[in-house]
Structure 1
Amino acid sequence: MKIGILGVGHIGKTLTQRLSMAGHDVKVANSRGPDTIGTDVLASGANAVTAAEAVVDVDALIISIPMNRLPQIAPLIVDLPAETVVIDTSNYYPHRDGRIESIEAGQVESLWVAEQLGRPVAKAWNSIGSDSFANKHKPAGSPDRIALPVAADRESDRRVAMALVEDTGFDAFDAGALAESWRQQPGAPCYTTDLIREELPAALAAADAKRSPKRRDLAIAAIQERIGDATTNPDAEYGVRLCRALFM
């Protein structure tokens, strides 16, 4: 599959490495230009390109950038074919993204993303911490393989996104429509808690839309106290333990 990736941050880097290792034709871009993308990101065969080049002639486009930058890339994808699958990995963090009033008023984050981009999207890879994503992938069939929820309104989008999640070393779980994707966002029981497939249905069902933002902010405060920087992701051992205590 031809895949474009926008963003080479904590998640985008691992996506680039893992999907190219799985045999996909991957090209990746960041906001600073292809010359700034490290050789480690490209070691499995991906190609560094400009953002404009990353969206051309691809079957799937994965967007892995902070939510506050999503409106800026909308012009890049305005001519993307309708059948191209756009997958969003973002999460809303007010301390980083600024206050987005419609989300604060209750709009589902993924629906806000689709609105900004002007097209349907799938939501995937947003529910796992970067350390777990980089280091806890397992072969298909492993009994302790972490499962990741995938939401989308179009069945074709969900099917492609789930297949790609499997290719990155995790079980893909059909989480239904985007309107329900708030159940996999920060503060929810399945968010960065490294659950297996059998545990996901109960965790998704237990999500509480009113409590999730408060729990999200508690986790950020705890990370800031421990690390001193809310933009630095914690290691899996601490992050998973913290989120299980706060979110489940």
Structure 2
Amino acid sequence: MNTIGIIGAGEVGSQIARAAIANGYNIVIANSRDPETLKGLIEELGPSARAATPKEAAIVGDFVVIAVPLKVINNMPVEELAGKIVLDTNNYMIWRDGHIPVIDSGQKTVHELRQEQLPTSKVVKVFTHIQAPRITAWGKSSGSPDRLALAVSSNFPEAAELASKLYDQFGFDAVDHSPLSESWRNAPGQPAWKQERQTRSELAANLARAKPIVLT
């Protein structure tokens, strides 16, 4: 798998693109506007990157990163993402997203809703409790005693495995807390979310002591 499609060219999507290129991947990246608006980013990223539409990024990517918030109206390229592993970096932010009752009540996580939006894809939650600039700045070589860990969760073991491999390439350990119904454990407000630096054992402990936050 040599090409990553990225839908969303904001801070998170751009940082993942930088880290991916540094690790030998080709990138096809899209935003909600015309690909020409990404000219500056593509010039920075170099020959391993090109801009495209979301549909094209979904088609070309061996797997795809979605770095945009969940919207109640599904505007994702569902057909083009069919059968693919989709790495979802989204967090539920009420100030931005408004209230989503099934999340507020604890019935569903935001990533379960993304999986429902993309029923023929294999969604995996990634990069949701690290600030974007640190994706390229905080990675360390495997075996480093102070190597940081990031959480991953999915309903599909192969998706969690791919995400864990990508973490390792970027310089992070992985803690798998699948399935997506458990992905609330590192959501905003939880212990894992509040800690800037966590080793694998520290992250596992913080995930274990999470408590559901019910708003309704």
TM-score (norm 1): 0.78
Tell me, yes or no, if the aligned pair for 2:148 and 2:199 is still in contact at 8 Å.
yes
Unpaired runs of 5+ residues, structure 2, are none
Unpaired runs of 5+ residues, structure 1, are 214-248
Distance (whole Å) between structure 2 residues aligned to residue 63 and residue 36 of structure 1: 18
Q: Higher relative contact order by CA 8 Å / sep ≥ 6: 1 or 2? A: 2
The aligned residue for residue 56 of structure 1 is 59
For 1:128, what is the secondary structure of its paired residue? coil
The aligned residue for residue 188 of structure 1 is 190
1:27-72 Cα shifts (integer Å, max 9, x gaps)? 1111122222224652372221121210113221110002237721
CA positional deviation for 1:118: 2.3
TM-score (norm 2): 0.89
Residue 102 of structure 1 pairs with residue 102 of structure 2: yes
Matched length: 209
Distance (whole Å) between structure 1 residues aligned to residue 10 and residue 171 of structure 2: 19
Distance (whole Å) between structure 1 residues aligned to residue 181 and residue 193 of structure 2: 17
Tell me, yes or no, if the aligned pair for 1:22 and 1:167 is still in contact at 8 Å.
yes
Distance (whole Å) between structure 2 residues aligned to residue 173 and residue 41 of structure 1: 32
Instruction: Quote the RMSD (CA, aligned, Å).
Output: 1.9
Identity %: 34
Alignment of 1:1-248 (within 5 A): 1=1, 2-37=3-38, 38-39=41-42, 42-43=45-46, 45-68=48-71, 71-73=74-76, 76-82=77-83, 84-106=84-106, 107-119=108-120, 120-191=122-193, 193=195, 194-210=197-213
User: Which of the two has greater helix per residue?
Assistant: 1
Tell me, yes or no, if the aligned pair for 1:184 and 1:190 is still in contact at 8 Å.
yes
Q: Structure 2 counterpart of 1:77, which letter? A: V
Tell me, yes or no, if the aligned pair for 1:56 and 1:80 is still in contact at 8 Å.
yes
